[in-house]
Each structure stands twice: as C-alpha cells, then as structure tokens.
Amino acid sequence: MLDKFSLRKNKKEVGASTYSKEHIDLSSVPSHIAIIMDGNGRWAKKRGLPRIAGHHEGMKVVRKIVKASNEIGVKVLTLYAFSTENWKRPQSEVDYLMKLPEEFLGSFLPELVTENVQVRVMGNKEQLPAHTMRAINKAMIDTKENDGLILNFALNYGSRFEIIEGIKQIIKDTNNGKLNINDINEELFSEYLMSADLADPDLLIRTSGEVRLSNFMLWQLAYAEFWFTEVLWPDFEENNFYQAIVEYQRRGRRFGGI
Ligand code: V0D
C-alpha cells in the first residue's frame, strides 16, 4: 500500500496539495515573473530519451505557462531559454535548440497574436543563426502592437555581459557629452540594461532543484522573491505555477505587517 512517504514514479506525492487559479488573490499577482526553465535534459535521461526530447517537451510547457500568466494578469513573463554558457553543449544539441523558436512560433504565434501577447527577446542576438532570428523578428513584428502580456525570452543572455555592455555604453555617452557623471544612478543604470523598459521581476522561479542564479538578471532580481521546486521543467504544470504565486502572496502578507 502506498502511503504519502512512498515515491510514486512520475506522480505527485499522495496528499500533496494542488493549486488552482482560485487560490490566487488576483489583486496582488506579481507583475513580472522570471523563470529559469531547468531540468529538461534530466527529464529525458530518466526516460532513456535523448536530451532534445526534454527540450521539446519543455517547449510545450512554455505554452501552458504563458496561457496561465495571461489569464491571471501577469504583465511580464521572462523565460530563460538559452544562456551564453549553453554554446558549450554538443553542437547537435545547440543546433536543435536554435530550431525551437521556429517550431514554437510556427505552432503558437497565431494564438499569441489573438491573445494580445507581445513577444520580445533579450540577449545577444548577433550570434544567433539567421533562421532563428528570422522567426523571432517576425514574431516581434507581428505582436508589437499587442499591449497584453509581454513574453520576454532571454536568449543568448548572460547578466554579467549585459552589465559590462551597459557600463561601456554609459562611458561612451559620458565621453560624448550625452551624459554627466552626476546623472549616473540606479535608475539610469537600469535604462542601459537589456530589460530597460521593463519593471524588475517580483518573483523568480527555478525548476529542477538547482538553487542558483546562474548569471540570470543579477541586477534586476535584487528585490525579487525566489521560489524553487524539485519539479523538472517538462513536468511543470499550471498547479506548480499557481503554488509559486500563492507562496509569493503569502510572503507578501507576512512582511506587509499584521
Ligand atoms: C528549450 C525549455 C521556446 C528550455 C523550453 C533557443 C529549453 C524549450 C523558445 C522560444 C527553448 C524562444 C524565442 C522565441 C520563441 C520561442 C525556446 C530556446 C529553447 C532556445 F521567440 N522554447 N525554447 N528557445 N526550450
């Protein structure tokens, strides 16, 4: 007989509470949620599948979480899709990953357009393959007038690189007289980052049990609540997402005073 301490393969723990939209206070939904979508390779390995199968499954989860975010009124959803470190992976895996934006947008761009989602990409775009850039540019153009959820993919993104590039640009603008040293403050510095016109994330979610930032939005996450789960990204469901938000809201009430 299985009790709540038994491990059930591919199943949630017995008695673990599951969360739904009804558990969320719609008046204090985090405006900006950032997610490190980790555990795709491990998900595949557990099933004896190639790593790319995990990436493909993870792509379907992106669609679910975008929909859920839109429904509860999240303003910005930033998803860490590819880090500057990811180039070190086997060439075949990198090649596959670089096809995912096309596949994702090929299936879902029409829905994103009708759901009023605006697609953006944050990262060093120059190094991306032309076919990837074409798909992304089309999505950004087709959704640029949308004023609903901002779906911000961090792609070929690294936070230290972003900060250094911001500093270089500030120095340039100072040297050419556009900027005075006395004008440099936290607010101005934020304007020189790739997230320039976005508010800082309120909530960071990282899946698959890793408890690190891995060079993700170091400046922007200064005041965010962090929420971690052992659930692998391809297994991540709406109920896990709602749990993160319920926990975020509970923390807010505790610190908001009595
Ligand atoms: C693999 C799990 C959607 C994480 C999700 C190029 C790793 C699925 C996109 C995507 C990836 C990116 C830009 C865009 C539209 C979709 C994506 C990559 C990886 C890396 F405009 N999923 N996804 N991009 N994975």
Is the domain spanning 28-158+200-250 CATH 3.40.1180.10? The answer is yes
147 labelled catalytic? no
Per residue in 187-241, pLDDT tens?
Answer: 999 999 999 999 999 999 999 999 999 999 999 999 999 999 999 999 999 999 9
Q: Which tokens is 258 given? A: 């009595």
Q: What is the pTM of this model?
A: 0.94
For the chain, the straight-line distance linking the first and the last C-alpha, in angstroms and rounded, comes to 44
From the list 70, 86, 146, 239, the catalytic residue is 86
Are the CB atoms for 247 and 205 separated by under 8 Å?
no
Residue 257 clears pLDDT 90, i.e. is over it: no
Distance CA 113, CA 207 (A): 28
Residue 134 is given by DSSP the state: H
Kindly give, in sequence order, each residue whose CB lies less than 8 Å from that of residue 235, ignoring residues fewer than 6 positions away.
10, 39, 43
How is the chain split into domains, by residue range? 28-158+200-250
Ligand 1 centroid from CA 60, angstroms? 10
Among 3, 10, 25, 38, the one annotated catalytic: 38
What's the pLDDT at 15?
Answer: 55
pLDDT of residue 254: 82
Mean of the per-residue pLDDT values for the chain? 94
Per-residue model confidence as pLDDT tens digits over 80-130 = 999 999 999 999 999 999 999 999 999 999 999 999 999 999 999 999 999
pLDDT higher than threshold 70 for residue 171: yes
pLDDT > 90? residue 5: no
41 lines ligand 1 (CB under 6 A): no
Strand order in the sheet with 32-36: 118-122, 150-157, 76-83, 32-36, 203-206, 225-228
